[in-house]
Amino acid sequence: MVKAKLTVKVRTPQGKLVCKRTYKAHSFLRNFLRLLGGLIASHIMVSNWALLNTAGVSKDAGAANDDQANLATGNIYIYIGNGTTAPTITDYKIESQLKVAAVAASQEVEDDPNYSVKWAVAIQNTTGSPWAVTEYVLACNVVWANSTIIAVLLRDVPGNTVNVADGEFIEVEYELITTV
């Protein structure tokens, strides 16, 4: 079984915890499943595992040298936004983006019978206005021979707002967990 967990924390500039919320993510998108299928098949062929980029363009056709995709190393992103539309399996972008940050490193945790991988970012609000965050996205780069797309893999709209005042930090962590 594979499941996902989303943890959101807000901290003051001094590091004091303002709020913490943990959600069961219900957001595995078609891109996630196609990417997983392609990885299991040891490569992603455009004709078999078409992925949609954030503009909704499908990589389902290409020149002969544009058929096979590879994951770019270290290019995983977490987006935050204020969209309110419930996720669907066909989502390919964030509804209303506030900010995006690259994940610096993933963390693997083995706790028999569970194994998990975590991706996290901390984003400071420096806009001069408060944020009302309602939407979260996990995405990654997929590189073809002559182009790169950002593929949205998970998208969550948990149903309650996380307020981030100017100067505060929002920490967002996605965790994928497998259980034997």
More confident residue, 162 or 54: 162
From the number of C-beta atoms within 10 Å of its C-beta (0-12, 13-18, 19+), residue 52 rates as buried
Distance between alpha carbon 158 and the CA centroid of its chain, in Å? 14
Residue 61 — very low, low, confident or very high, per pLDDT cuts 50/70/90? very low
Residue 25 neighbours by CB distance under 10 Å: 20
**89-148: per-residue pLDDT in tens?**
888 889 999 999 999 878 888 887 888 889 999 999 999 999 999 999 998 877 665 667
Q: How far apart, in Å, are the Cα atoms of 157 and each of 55, 81, 96, 176?
A: 20, 9, 11, 17
For residue 104, give both structure tokens. 């610096």
